[in-house]
Homo-oligomer: A and B are copies of this chain.
Amino acid sequence: MTPPPTLAQQLAAKQREISVAEFFERNRQILGFDNPQRSLLTTVKEAVDNAVDSAEEARVLPDVLVEISKEGDDRLRVAVTDNGPGILRKEIPNIFARLLYGSRFHSNRQARGQQGIGISAAVLYANLTTARPAHIVSKVEEEEAAHVLDLVIDTQKNQPRVVAEDLLLWDRPHGTRVEVVLKARYVRGRQSPYEYLRGTAIVNPHARLVLVEPDGTRVTFERASQELPPLAKETLPHPYGLELGELGYLLKGTRRPTLGEFLSKDLAGVSSRATREVFERSGIRPTRPPSSIQGEEQERLLAALHEVPLVAPAADCLSPIGATLIKRGLRNVLGDLRPEFYAPPVSRPPKVRGGFPFMVEVGLVYGGGLPPDPPIQILRFANRVPLLFQQGACAITTAIAHLDWRRYGLEQKGGAGVPSGPAVVLVHVASTKIPFTSEAKEAIAEDAEIDKEVTLALQAAARHLRAHISRMSRREFASDKFEIIQRILPKLAEKTSHLVGKPAPDLTPVITRIMDIVHVDSKLVRTDAAVRLPVEVTNYTPRARVLELFVEIPPDEFAAATFDPAPEGTEPALGRAWWTLPKLAPSGRTQLEVRFPAKSDVDAGDLDWYVVGIDESHVLGADPLPGDWDVRLPRTIVEAAEAAEAESAAAGPDEGEVDYDAAESSASASDEE
């Protein structure tokens, strides 16, 4: 007779392995499949991300068709077709019906998919909710026919099962089509496939994306660029942020015969000088076989690698969006809202966290037709993929909420939280490995390094915003004054003249003395032939002025710009040009013009105007030249200005005794009639 099992034996009998597919089937919310709307978005997203990744890997301009149609009350059929290189027959089952299987997890370069989970998770969810297999068609160039497979996942084993198979003569040279029927709900608007595809189009202008909605509506996001972005290169692990255990795996797994070769060939950023220093500090000989470095020696080696200065990670494993596309993207998404100000997009240099390079880009727009009241709009991107859910849990949002935006001119209760105001902030984090908060890849986890870089990028963009807002408020103040004087003084003069029975005098000299300002007035005119930026400089001061005018243009745009008249000097690398203006008598005016090609994306806000030869407080529409301009001026501006001043002083005041303050205050008073 066997004794009854003890408690420990009973408990042990319950211990079991859990298949990863079973785990995610039970915890599908972690993968982004917790309600019908989110499940649809996640399915579309995983399929499209794969489609764009694979077309780029094959160096083909991506062409993706997303078809969504109704299949009964609460079911949708989703089919995504791409023009990628296609998949070999033997790999199809694993790629589409096995979790944790893929090509991008072990490659250390920026890609949309990184986990080997996404599309199989969509198949798992479809199997679970409708019991229908996924229907895959894929053709590679070297074969005549496409393979057609119906797949389900055996969740207890996390293995694919082929339930039907066929061949098909397909009307395309290569490509893949994945089709699933799942419990889902289609809504247009926020967090929809439409919004996701629009966001994707913005930062992937080389892709052509077509969406067919359940009601038959066909939306095409046309390709805006024929140029493929450079393919991000695979990179070696960088020692910064490498953990001891990871170093151990690398030392054990390498084929290099010596530690010296291991450091210089298996790690990124370790120069020969750094290698020497690492050996000096750690006291380990470079000829030792890597696998012999164990325990305490490993710790010394890692400490030395963290202390010695290393070369920053190469940027070519990353694929940033770039300033031009960030701006174009923002312009597309904002449509007719026409913001008044585009901050120059900020691109931070690549940094490393946990051995993985990453970089941050930020775009910011302000004013115009943007709604002034609600919280600012945040557009989040990770590796060129828009993030639509879990905004509150994302490191990007946290960095925005921790910045004191009041210092930069936005409203923010208590100096924390998402600020309010007519602004949109775009943040892109690119990395060979994005630390997402969950497998659904909807939010970036809190991380000190990422937080720091996002904050620095936001601050850089926000400083431009502050300069713009303060410039605008100064301008507004001066314009208000200008307008009041121009409207009220003539009325006053007319009344007075009528009373004393005399004709009204010419008021221009008086207005000029009250204003005492040089007005630099630039506008943007977009015609079919060109983008024109005429600039008018008017001297509303009572003295003759000799001024030097400077413009700064984003260098990319500068290359295509033409000027009339030709500038006296330029620095194309910095996008700078300057003119000495003809001497302007009081009320005198002069014009110049900057022109760009018709297709240019340039905006009035992209051009910064600076002036030398007059005090900052007497200029409207331009700023004093910043100290970092080291241009050799064509002649000594200061001398010229002094000469003009002397001349003007000799001519004496233009007008008799005028009490400007009184005139101005009675002007304000009568304005209230």
Contact = CB atoms under 8 A, between A and B. Distances in A.
Contacts of A6: 140-142
Interface in A71-118: 85-88, 90-91, 94-95, 98, 100-103, 105-107, 115-116
A157 to B, nearest CB: 13
A16 interface: yes
Given A6-B141, A14-B107, A103-B14, A29 B437 contact: yes
Interface residues of A, number: 77
A574 interface: no
A106 B95 CA distance: 27
B87 A140 contact: no
A569 to B, nearest CB: 51
A150 B439 CA distance: 31
A30 B436 contact: yes
Interface string A384-396: 0000001011000
B244 A130 contact: yes
Interface in A2-22: 6-9, 11-12, 14-20, 22
A7 B141 contact: yes
Given A18-B105, A105-B16, A127-B245, A393 B26 contact: no
Given A102-B18, A438-B438, A446-B35, A88 B295 contact: no
Interface of A: 6-9, 11-12, 14-20, 22-23, 26-27, 29-30, 34-35, 54, 57-58, 85-88, 90-91, 94-95, 98, 100-103, 105-107, 115-116, 127-131, 140-142, 155, 174, 183, 243-246, 248-249, 295, 298-299, 390, 392-393, 413, 433, 435-439, 443, 445-448
A88 B438 contact: no
Contact of A8 (B17, B140, B243): B140
A17 B393 contact: no
Contacts of A245: 127-131
Given A26-B433, A85-B7, A141-B6, A246 B16 contact: no
Nearest to A299: B131
10 contacts: A7-B140, A8-B141, A11-B58, A11-B85, A18-B101, A34-B445, A34-B447, A35-B447, A155-B249, A438-B439
Given A105-B16, A244-B131, A446-B34, A435 B29 contact: yes
A357 B484 CA distance: 72
Contacts of A246: 128
A21 to B, nearest CB: 10
A7 B130 CA distance: 35
Given A142-B6, A245-B131, A16 B103 contact: yes
A30 B88 contact: no
Contacts of A243: 128-129, 183
A644 to B, nearest CB: 57
A413 B417 CA distance: 14
Contacts of A127: 245
